[in-house]
Chain A
């Protein structure tokens, strides 16, 4: 495929779990996300407003969790999934990510669904964002279309 070492739909096992390396969320990350998204939420970009709103520290954008989680997910000790498309994301934010926190993502394959006449199968992955104390500060589920190694199988297969 010329796509480097990847894992296909068939390679995934339900229950398989991976924990990423950590990434420290910096003030630069917050500013860069504000610049890129155009969302200058004052809680994350106006320290005076944040303090007046009752925060004692500077929170990062909540979206840093799923965004950094997606990049960290490629850095686990396993070849990346051959993703054809990202289909859905359900997410719950429990507590703020503070500038200076170090986050990891823990991913677990919770379901696989064969799709007939498609080049891939659906994988549902649970993702948890953990902070440096091991607390789950965000979590959710991503629905991903993952490429099949064997392209077009008409036979019914169950994995």
Chain B
């Protein structure tokens, strides 16, 4: 088969680790995510209200962190993975992402599973979202359906 530059199920090995570039989360990101999701919760959109909260300021939506981490994850690998579908997610939001924080994602392949269909398999990737102080602000596992080489 021709090499299309992608990593297929056979190419991925348990234990492989990747680290992404950083991305600074801005106020614009939070405003855009509120607009896209429709989640205008005061946690993310009311600077005055949040002054008296435990965070002291607006925080990014947890799911914005997850969305940005999917983009960073795609930038962590020189060869993109031939993902057919996202199957499952087990995710913890451990701490806030604040405006101006810079996050990176570390990825580790923790499991490969053969399934009945022979043209694909499941890969479990464990991810950590780490801020500029080295604190893990989000982490969890993603189950991905990956194509095999034809």
Asked if A and B bind, the verdict is: yes
Residue-wise, chain A 64-103 has the 8 Å CB interface mask toward B (1 for contact) of: 0011101110110000100111111111110010000000
**A32 on interface, CB distance cutoff 8 Å:** yes
Among the interface residues B37, B54, B62, B84, which one has the most CB atoms of the partner chain A within 10 A?
Answer: B37
Query: Using a CB-CB cutoff of 8 Å, which residues 1-48 of chain A contact chain B?
Result: 2-3, 23, 29, 32-33, 36-43
Q: Interface readout for B114-140 with A: 1 if CB under 8 Å, 0 if not?
A: 000000000000000000000000000
0/1 interface trace, chain B 23-66, chain A, CB 8 Å (1 if under): 10000010011001111111100000100011000000111101
Q: Is the CB of A36 within 8 A of B67?
A: yes
Q: Is the interface of A mostly helix, strand, loop or mixed?
A: mixed
> When the two chains form their complex, are residues B92 and A67 in contact, meaning their CB atoms are under 8 A apart?
no
Q: Given A70-B61, A80-B41, answer yes or no on A41-B67 (Cβ-Cβ < 8 Å).
A: no
Known interface pairs A36-B29, A37-B71; A67-B88 also in contact (CB < 8 Å): no
A-B CB pair tally, cutoff 8 Å? 114
Q: Do A140 and B36 touch (CB < 8 A)?
A: no
Q: How many residues of B contact A (CB 8 A)?
A: 42
Question: How far is A93 from B143 in the complex, measured between Cα atoms in Å?
Answer: 10
Is A114 interfacial (CB-CB < 8 Å)?
A: no
Give min CB distance, A77 to chain B, whole Å.
16
Q: Would A70 and B63 count as touching, CB distance under 8 A?
A: yes
Q: Which of A37, A63, A74 contacts B86 (CB 8 A)?
A: A63
18 new A-B contacts, CB < 8 A, other than A37-B67, A53-B84, A70-B63, are: A32-B32, A38-B68, A39-B74, A42-B80, A63-B67, A67-B67, A70-B39, A71-B37, A71-B38, A72-B38, A74-B39, A80-B41, A89-B66, A89-B89, A89-B93, A91-B89, A92-B87, A93-B87
- Residues of B in contact with A (beta carbons under 8 Å apart): 23, 29, 32-33, 36-43, 49, 53-54, 61-64, 66-68, 70-75, 80, 83-93, 96, 147
